[in-house]
Amino acid sequence: MKNYNVIVIGSGPAGMMAAIRSSLNNKVLLIEKNDKLGKKLSITGGGRCNLLNLKNVDEFIKEIAVNAKSFYSVLKQISPKDLYDYFVSIGVMLKEEDNNRIFPVSNKSITIIEALNKQLKLSNVDINLNEIVIDIKIEENNKVVITNKGRYICQKLIIATGGCSYPQTGSTGDGYKFAKLLNHDITDLYPAETFLITKEKLPLAGLTLDNVTVMLDQKKVEGSMLFTHNGVSGPVIFRISEEVYKKINKEKQAELVVDLLPDYSYEKLINSLNNYNSKKEIASFVRQYLPKRLSDYLVLSLNINTKIAEMSKINKQKIIESIKQFRIKIKKTGNIETSIVTGGGVNLKDINMKTMESKLNKGVYFVGELLDIHGHTGGYNITIALATGYVAGEASNN
């Protein structure tokens, strides 16, 4: 039975960062069930790896969908800018794109994985691949980690096994099982940042709208939207999907109200319509503002594709309302396995957010997506993973 100061389970961004920082004063073992490090990280951002979001702390916190206040104490220790500087210091060339999103200049996730792997090796961290943790036991001040290949003893244990999203990458919910073994409460798990399936199949698959405003009750978000073969997707949909999931869970239905032209007021569009060539058909007017396929769908669904001169005031209002309040009935959300992020997780009431240490088991730390905390898409969740891993790693040195 091998003895280590610290064992880290899971080699996502949280686990790798935790292992690197833990190694400053400790002999560290990193256990990974896959045959390579950072498997889920390799597919993020379409393989480009949206590593961070460089918003300042106060702005960053606004993008945390759940338990933002609790995460503030983590960001006070290691900010997005600090993490950016860390990666630059280890030789990673980074670039900033729209909305403060940070990517490697190479546009390849492997750049980040290789840089962290290099630091693990420089830090003399032992790395065991293709090894599955089966059980964890607490014996006095030691933790016993039992795998399919052996038993290990450590004084401190960092659990970084991820959520349930994309299980093919190894995120199969193992950490929740370990947390329960250690008497931790797991809040309800649900798909966060996911696509939506519409009640009716819309003949608009493949169509992207760069800027729309989507509302669900009092929740309002703005961004780009994509129509799919069975529903809607894209950044603006991901941002509101959590509220949609909760509403469907509670009321069995949800309806989105989409402003297809947020830059144009209702009055401006009505005036424009009234001043448009009255000899032309209404579809011609709508195509000025929206893609042809969407324009024709709107007009057809209202069954008023006549010449503007023949339109009543009410029908003109209906056309503009269909643009400013395009309604989409939602049947269900994507499932948790295909969602970008797992909502829910280890309840933060039993976690010291200044160290990521369990309040129930001294020397046990939980980090990354395993926790009941997540942000929107745009680099926030990998930042959360790296930051919590960093804080836990630093704390394990004390």
Residue 173 has pLDDT above 70, yes or no: yes
Residue 126 has pLDDT above 90, yes or no: yes
Lowest mean pLDDT among 2-11, 33-42, 164-173, 265-274: 164-173
Closest C-alpha to 39, from 151, 146, 105, 130: 130
Tell me the C-alpha distance between 249 and 314, whole Å. 36
What amino acid is encoded at 84 in this protein? Y
Lowest mean pLDDT among 120-129, 230-239, 315-324, 334-343: 334-343
pLDDT, residue 46, reads 80
Of residues 172 and 357, more confidence is placed in 357
| DSSP code at position 308 | G
Residue 170 has pLDDT above 70, yes or no: no
pLDDT, residue 318, reads 94
Tell how far CA 278 is from the center of its chain: 48
| DSSP code at position 371 | B
State the pLDDT confidence band at 135, using cuts at 50, 70 and 90: very high
Contact indicator for 151, 144 with CB cutoff of 8 Å? yes
Tell me the C-alpha distance between 355 and 149, whole Å. 30
Contact indicator for 346, 367 with CB cutoff of 8 Å? no
Residue 215 has pLDDT above 80, yes or no: yes
pLDDT, residue 35, reads 94
pLDDT in tens, 61-81: 999 989 999 999 999 999 999
pLDDT, residue 166, reads 72
> Percentage of the chain with pLDDT > 70?
99
Residue 259 has pLDDT above 80, yes or no: yes
> Percentage of the chain with pLDDT > 90?
87
Q: What angle do CA 122, 352, 155 make, to 5 degrees?
A: 50
pTM, 2 dp: 0.91
Q: E strands along 13-90, which residues?
A: 28-31, 52-53, 64-66
Closest C-alpha to 185, from 387, 392, 366: 366
Lowest mean pLDDT among 130-144, 157-171, 196-210, 329-343: 157-171
pLDDT, residue 349, reads 97
Domains for the chain: give ranges and CATH numbers: 2-190+338-395 (3.50.50.60), 195-334 (no CATH)
Of residues 307 and 94, more confidence is placed in 94
* Helices vs strands, H then E, count in the chain: 12, 22
β-pair type (133-139, 28-31): unpaired
Q: Locate 116 and state its tokens.
A: 């962290």
pLDDT in tens, 270-326: 999 999 988 899 999 999 999 999 999 999 999 887 888 988 999 999 999 999 999
Contact indicator for 230, 332 with CB cutoff of 8 Å? no
What is the residue-wise DSSP string for 131-167? --EEEEEEETTEEEEEESS-EEEEEEEEE----SSSG
| pLDDT (mean) for 235-258 | 94
Lowest mean pLDDT among 38-42, 44-48, 198-202, 387-391: 44-48
pLDDT, residue 232, reads 97
Q: Locate 254 and state its tokens.
A: 């949800």
| DSSP code at position 176 | H
pLDDT, residue 60, reads 97
Longest dimension (CA), the chain: 87
Element (H, E) at 330: strand 326-333
